[in-house]
Structure 1
């Protein structure tokens, strides 16, 4: 791609900033002409498909992709002339930009290859457990994190407690569920908390739950894999001390980049990697070998695209698209919408199931029907205590017509 073409794409992203920052985000979320311009910043999905599975990873804007290709070309061309001289300084500048975005200090974050690796650093490295202690997690937590928590029984000699979150949920019911689980298990010393569930889209009251855990001497490891870029939050305001974050989902960086956050005074509570020399630095807790320099460096461009579209505008748009189908079907007698209408408890992702269809096989068949008969692509999500479901994850290329098509398809299927 020519420099002039890259400049045109970057200018298009920058042009989004003025309306996104000046307009009321709630009103802007409904402006289809504005979001058509935003959609034009991305490559179009394949024709004939309504892409409603944007949760595994998010597309880069074309400007971000152009920047990535440019950086990849430089690394490939200069090889170690760059990576052994100027690359580290450039990576540190991107790291400082990420820290400023998160509102934390630069020595409290380190790059990883994604949210799963970030949580592996925290779960596997948490050093304050002793035989006889317990750890806690919920049914809606991410599969790999659940496996990690279960592994602590073998690795640390602790008891593992799993419990189910309420369905349907309210803020108070969620707080009460965690409080009751902690009260019933006073030996819990560490717990996993998912900021935004990949299974149903549920957002628990993180600040309140973290506070009640701390009051009982329990450390919280927060999985922010789906939350960053999909909703607005502050790690410091929520009282979070340990968090894993993903940059290739809703921030739109190249695949394979995440962040781990550890508050400075808690870094020593996460063990040093067996591949690292003893150190009090967070970097010693993460060892990924040779990094994808181009991917990490492009995080800066992804943050620029995110800022240009507008974090608040993105969050409200995703909620608007979600509400367009979920709240329309809320009272349907045969469709169960699995996140509540309370906007503080969901973002853009929400799952559903047809009443009585709780098996994984039924969810797979429903996904197949939506795609083959209606051209709507979704994904099945097993693991919730009350049964498997279908996840709907709209993004910035989606329109109200896409959500209305989903409504029409589900009404036909559930008739």
Structure 2
């Protein structure tokens, strides 16, 4: 990637002070943004569904697709396996785990459904626990365990406003009130409000009670600077097509060594040696080029730098949430505690929590101000509008949002 090196960003100290670095070394984040072909139809502040590929990744994906299309099954049957293992090595290194602990999926949803549905330590009369901020498909999978395993699903609402200790206390109370719980679902970064859950502390607390945790890290990998062992969790689902910037259709399933037998093989699959994590998922014929391009996405991600990227995303979120936290008419749902905040933020107009009102609010931002966001439902407190910048987002885009929300809040 000519002219774009780790030294160009990390040497400027972006991981510690993005704004000061930009002033001292030109505009390094402008240099990053220039690697993306961003639409100018709108101010794109809805980057949570999936992440845009940087131009070098998109170009590599095209080359992989051309090669696979040209060589067809000669490639897929004879050469793809070793190539995919090299990608698996890269992903495992990025996550800080052994490659024997991971398998590729088509997304975090597929990975997490395999973990939830395949978890075989539940017995009739046990209970499972999830929260209002968990992803909808994961909530429904936890409820499905009633029919699958004969267990009782228990749902809780996480506290608002959230605090670090308050979140830990909420799960502690839920476990104490429901002593039959044997499995909990934890979401590392909420797709609704961007809330970062203190996963490591809650996992340790649950383990002390004999409770396993399945962790949804769909929005965490590439947005936060962490390694999987930091979470202490034995079962995790992740996405590569959100914040890592790989092509759509790539996820990762993680099972810590020694726990594979606690997840059933997929429909009794036996394609790999007994106990192989890859037998816990079966996605059919793969988008070969998409999986190959994960290595190129990791190249770009690592050149930017995980800590620099996390700091920039947090700064972009704070640039709009903090000036508006005390603004009249606006309710910011994302906590100010940096331990609990990510790139994603959410808001609503005060006294207007309905789904219809927030759908209309997102529509007003688009039609009146040219700013694209998305309404989210499912919070116990009501609906909201989610704002999700990316590393190509410019400060001016955020400032435009702040001006629009001040106008809407005042009216």
TM-score, normalised by the number of residues in structure 2: 0.96
**Stretch deviating more after TM superposition (185-194 or 25-34):** 25-34
Q: Please give the alpha-carbon distance, in whole angstroms, between the structure 1 residues aligned to 2:268 and 2:70.
A: 29
Q: SS at 1:353's partner residue?
A: strand
Aligned length: 403
Q: 1:136 to 1:106 in 2, by over 3 A?
A: same
Distance 1:370 1:295 in 2: 34
1:50 pairs with 2:43: yes
Distance in 2 (CA, whole Å) between partners of 1:29 and 1:262 is: 39
Corresponding residue SS for 1:162: strand
71-80 vs 21-30, which deviates more? 21-30
**2:192 corresponds to 1:199:** yes
Residue in structure 2 matched with residue 5 of structure 1 by the alignment: none
Change (3 A) 1:29 1:205: farther
* 1:26 corresponds to: 16
* Cα RMSD for the two superposed structures: 1.1
Rounded Cα–Cα distance in structure 1 between residues aligned with 2:139 and 2:311: 30
Query: 1:174-225: CA deviations, max 9, x gaps?
Result: 0000000000000000000000000100001111111111111110000000
Q: How far is the alpha carbon of 1:334 from its aligned partner? A: 1.7
What is the deviation of 1:289? 1.0
Q: Is residue 250 of structure 1 aligned with residue 239 of structure 2?
A: no
SS in 2 for 1:220: strand
Deviation at 1:275?
5.5
Could you say which residue in structure 1 is the equivalent of 2:76?
A: 83
SS of structure 2 residue aligned to 1:327: helix
Match of 1:39 in 2: 33
From 335, 338, 342, the equivalent of 1:340 is: 335
Q: Structure 1's 29 and 161: CA in aligned 2 closer, same or farther, altered over 3 A?
A: farther
Any stretches of 5+ residues in structure 2 without a counterpart? none
> Counterparts of 1:29 and 1:272 in 2: how far apart (Å)?
49
C-alpha distance in 2 between matches for 1:77 and 1:212: 53
| Rounded Cα–Cα distance in structure 1 between residues aligned with 2:67 and 2:154 | 49
> 3-state SS of the aligned residue for 2:216?
strand
Instruction: Give the whole-Å Cα distance in 1 for the aligned partners of 2:38 and 2:144.
Output: 42
Contact 1:380/1:389 (CA < 8 Å) preserved in 2? yes
1:398 to 393, 397, 408: 393
CA distance in 2, matches of 1:368, 1:238: 38
Counterpart of 2:321?
A: 326
Asked whether the equivalents of residues 203 and 232 of structure 2 are also in contact (C-alpha less than 8 Å), the reply is: yes
Which one of 366, 369, 382 corresponds to residue 377 of structure 2? 382
Residue 11 of structure 1: aligned partner? 2
TM-score of the two chains, using structure 1 as the length reference: 0.95
Gaps (5+ residues) in structure 1? 1-9
